[in-house]
């Protein structure tokens, strides 16, 4: 499959518009075209050990969940390990693609996979994503009233000369007086021109309302998941479920104040990877994350919320098997998709 076609299909699978604004997602390293992909290689972290494995397996594109290029690189030398990754990828004609928080937010992404380990439950995003586009033209709505047909014609004629403005009008009655209400949808750039025109007339300007339009929220996409179990279980049972789902012999546990291993768990707030900002302030019996700051764990525990931490990438890596199967179906088995065997969390219990 041609690299550009594959990247387009990957973007269709989970839109990069779901990614956080601070993130660095998409195609990060591109060999000179044309570039045909026979084998796609999945990993959570692209370390030098994982790169060596990928080259030995002669892959054509690496999907690295975490972006190996995050902060801008000022030079590409052999000095640092991330620079060496770029050099080796280009020398061996291997592309690098990273979805990161787009897959965090996706309805079929890592957080939905993590929720599967809890048992039968209903879930929703803790912080829903916004749609990529506005429901109407423009980012702002400007509304004001005019009294006479002459004024109406003058206003409509003037604003139609401004780019990125759509105009509608309707009749209203205020204090037994017939008026025409003008509603303009416009872009941020056009808004300044609209305001400049209206400010020339005190009659219009003093009665003008300016509304900032919001992109609609998406019901099933967003950061974190708030999961409500069909039937509550003891904390001890939930711990075993999580360990089994993540294939971990140990997890880290902070009991909420007044809680024991026999305390019931009905509502779980979870966030794969780093959970502090996403989970903060969420009401639940249990927080599940890869990592949280020391003080955020203390805050949660003080409120009676138990915290389970599993290390950052341990809450993400198991998702790759599901991702492989979903991508095989999405790409109609046109390419080989394999998982890294060298990829692992850098921390272990000794």
pLDDT given for residue 206 in this prediction: 61
Q: What is the pTM of this model?
A: 0.87
Distant-in-sequence, close-in-space partners of 296: CB < 8 Å, separation ≥ 6: 276, 279, 280
The token pair at 62 is 């690496």
Q: Which residue has the tokens 């996979």?
A: 113
Those residues of the chain that have pLDDT short of 50 are none
Domains and CATH numbers, the chain: 3-100 (3.40.1390.30), 106-129+220-315 (3.40.1390.30), 140-212 (3.30.70.120)
The answer on whether 250 is annotated among ligand-binding residues is no
Count each helix (H run) and each strand (E run) in the chain, helices first.
12, 17
**Residue 116, Cβ density class (10 Å: 0-12 exposed, 13-18 middle, ≥19 buried):** middle
The token pair at 105 is 């937010």
The answer on whether 104 is annotated among ligand-binding residues is yes
pLDDT given for residue 198 in this prediction: 85
Q: Are 37 and 120 in contact (CB under 8 A)?
A: no
Is residue 5 helix, strand or coil?
Answer: helix
pLDDT given for residue 197 in this prediction: 87
The answer on whether 66 is annotated among ligand-binding residues is yes
The answer on whether 127 is annotated among ligand-binding residues is no
pLDDT given for residue 156 in this prediction: 85
pLDDT given for residue 205 in this prediction: 59
Q: What is the pLDDT of residues 30-44, one digit of tens each?
A: 999 999 999 999 999
Q: What is the CA radius of gyration of the chain?
A: 26
Q: Which residue has the tokens 């397996």?
A: 57
The token pair at 344 is 């692992």
């Amino acid at each position: 499959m041609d690299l550009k076609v594959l990247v387009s299909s990957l973007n269709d699978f989970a839109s990069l518009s779901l990614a956080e604004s601070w993130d660095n997602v998409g195609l990060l390293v591109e060999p000179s075209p044309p570039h045909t992909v026979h084998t796609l290689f999945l990993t959570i972290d692209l370390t030098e050990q994982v790169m060596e494995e990928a080259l030995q397996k002669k892959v054509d594109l690496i999907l690295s969940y975490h972006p190996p290029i995050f902060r801008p690189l000022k030079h590409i030398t052999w000095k640092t390990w991330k620079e060496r990754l770029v050099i080796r990828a280009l020398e061996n004609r291997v592309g690098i693609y990273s979805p990161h928080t787009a897959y965090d937010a996706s309805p079929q992404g890592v957080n939905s996979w993590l929720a599967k380990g809890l048992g039968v439950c209903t879930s929703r995003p803790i912080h829903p994503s916004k749609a990529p586009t506005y429901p109407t033209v423009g980012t702002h709505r400007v509304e004001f009233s005019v009294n006479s047909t002459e004024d109406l014609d003058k206003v409509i004629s003037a604003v139609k000369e401004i780019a990125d403005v759509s105009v509608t009008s309707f009749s209203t009655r205020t204090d037994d007086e017939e008026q025409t209400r003008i509603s303009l949808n416009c872009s941020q750039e056009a808004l300044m021109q609209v305001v400049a025109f209206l400010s020339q007339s005190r009659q219009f300007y003093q009665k003008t309302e300016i509304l900032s339009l919001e992109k609609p929220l998406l019901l099933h996409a967003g950061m974190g998941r708030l999961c409500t179990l069909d039937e509550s279980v003891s904390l001890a049972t939930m711990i075993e479920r999580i360990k089994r789902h993540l294939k971990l012999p140990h997890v880290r546990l902070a009991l909420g104040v007044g809680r024991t291993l026999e305390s019931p768990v009905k509502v779980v707030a979870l966030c794969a990877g780093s959970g502090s900002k996403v989970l903060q302030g969420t009401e639940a019996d249990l927080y599940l994350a890869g990592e949280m700051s020391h003080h955020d764990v203390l805050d949660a525990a003080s409120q009676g919320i138990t915290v389970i931490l599993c290390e950052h990438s341990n809450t993400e890596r198991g998702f790759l098997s599901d991702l492989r199967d979903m991508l095989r179906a999405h790409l109609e088995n046109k390419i080989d998709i394999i998982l890294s065997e060298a990829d692992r969390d850098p921390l272990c219990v000794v």
